[in-house]
Amino acid sequence: MHVEQQLADIQEVVADILTMAKAKGADSAEASISKVQGIAVATRLKEVETVEFTNDGGLGISVYVEGCKGSASTADLSKQALALTVEKAIQIARYTGEDPCAGLAEKELMVQDSMDLELYHPVDLDTDAGLKLALEAETAALDSDPRINNSDGASYNANIGMKVYGNSHGINVGYPSSRYSLSCVMIAGDGDDMQRDYAYTVSREADKLQSAKEVGQQAAQNTLNRLGARKVQTCNVPVIIDKELAPSFIGHFVSAISGGSLYRKSSFLLDSKGQQVFPEWFEIQERPHIKRALASSFFDNEGVATHDMDIVTNGILNHYLFTSYSARKMGTKTNGHAGGIHNWLVKDTGHSQAQLLKDMGTGLLVTELMGQGVNIVTGDYSRGAAGYWVENGVIQYPVHELTIAGNLKDILRNIVAVGTDTELRGSIFTGSLLLESMAVAGE
């Protein structure tokens, strides 16, 4: 069946359930359907380990009755199942308390027009082709060096699907999308020393993935680089957060400026809008409509149109991130962030990673973070880390069993530079971050 027809059929189901909800007494309602077909295959030590085929789909509906909300979901899209799902949602609404902040997002904020962001690039879901890629990656890694003596496997995933959202403001929109990834995790041994690392590639387009051989060789090289890791003495030094970890680091800032944290008064950036939270040169732009990007969308999970926003300019926080509920709690309007952020571009300072190392002089390059020691309420940050010790701008040796600590409020204000080695495999596009100073706990 052609994708346009599939999309139209799903939109019809959404229209039907919204009509049922109105007929059964809902003042307003919203419904969404996601359907995904995919394969997940994995090899380990050049043997096939798993082959999975998925065909998942589900509908979720929320109804609002006199300010009370009820939600229900179903994987069965037959008329009978849909009618039962609506009844259950309305029953639940009758038992919940009235909440003046609940309800659909404002009608004038709804998305008006569809937009082709080129997110859909289907290929046949061929398990043999997927296994061939996983085997090729793992073989390239295992054959690269005798110290690569074990494997945690290689895996290939392919997913094609669609998402449709509609509500009783009269909108009913959707789009198809695709996503492909290949990863490889290797183990290296040298005497009693054993280390593990990985590499991966992800894209909307299967033919834009890095080659399997490159992924395998990169996984092997990353793992070998960690052999001979040492501990360091406890110290306070500059730290570079590697580009692969930098998006999760900026992710703590995302959590702190999200409406849910703010209305609960559980953020270290409460009352920081319009304030300097980064250095004066620092900028973050949100660009939801970048073609083929992994976090692009022309509407959010509430049907609100997404649009370009300059989140941080000259180090000043311009916007908090709201859903309709959190916005009402804060006495404002949503700005299209139900379901998360859409392509954040962190402006670099023109420094290559080699220049960042040189500017740092002596300090720590962090390539792995462990644990959950981040307190968004206070900004206190303390996580296990591993990486490389740097002296005079040159990597000396790998290090492990460290803890890095500081307070995010200070850390964000004192970012020294952002690298040009931009990480594009997610929703936050940023290079490595050079931080002025952190406490490093070692021996």
Q: Across the beta sheet with 47-65, what order do the strands follow?
A: 68-74, 47-65, 28-44, 148-167, 172-190, 193-203
Q: What is the pLDDT of residues 242-281, one digit of tens each?
A: 999 999 999 999 999 999 999 999 999 999 999 999 999 9
Distance CA(302)–CA(166), nearest Å, equals 8
Q: What is the pLDDT of residues 3-34, one digit of tens each?
A: 989 999 999 999 999 999 999 999 999 999 99
Provide CB contacts within 8 A for 318, sequence distance 6+: 273, 274, 309, 310, 311, 312
Average pLDDT value over all residues in the chain: 96
Q: Which domains does the chain have, with CATH numbers?
A: 3-224 (3.30.2290.10), 229-443 (no CATH)
Lowest-confidence region among 25-29, 189-193, 329-333? 189-193
Q: Give yes or no for residue 1 having a pLDDT over 70.
A: no
Alpha-carbon dihedral sign for residues 276, 282, 287, 293: negative
Q: How confident is the model at residue 223 (pLDDT cuts 50, 70, 90)?
A: very high
pLDDT at 229: 94
The residue-averaged pLDDT of 216-241 equals: 96
Other Cβ atoms closer than 10 A to 407: 16
Residue 35 Cα distances to 13, 38, 51, 287, 434, angstroms: 13, 10, 20, 26, 41
The residue-averaged pLDDT of 136-143 equals: 97
Residue 203 Cα distances to 119, 211, 425, angstroms: 10, 12, 8
Q: What is the pLDDT of residues 81-94, one digit of tens each?
A: 999 999 999 999 99
Distance CA(285)–CA(283), nearest Å, equals 7
Q: Give yes or no for residue 387 having a pLDDT over 90.
A: yes
- Helices in 68-148 by DSSP H: which ranges? 79-95, 127-142
Distance CA(209)–CA(153), nearest Å, equals 18
Query: For strand 235-241 and strand 394-407, is the pairing parallel, antiparallel, or unpaired?
Result: unpaired
pLDDT at 295: 97
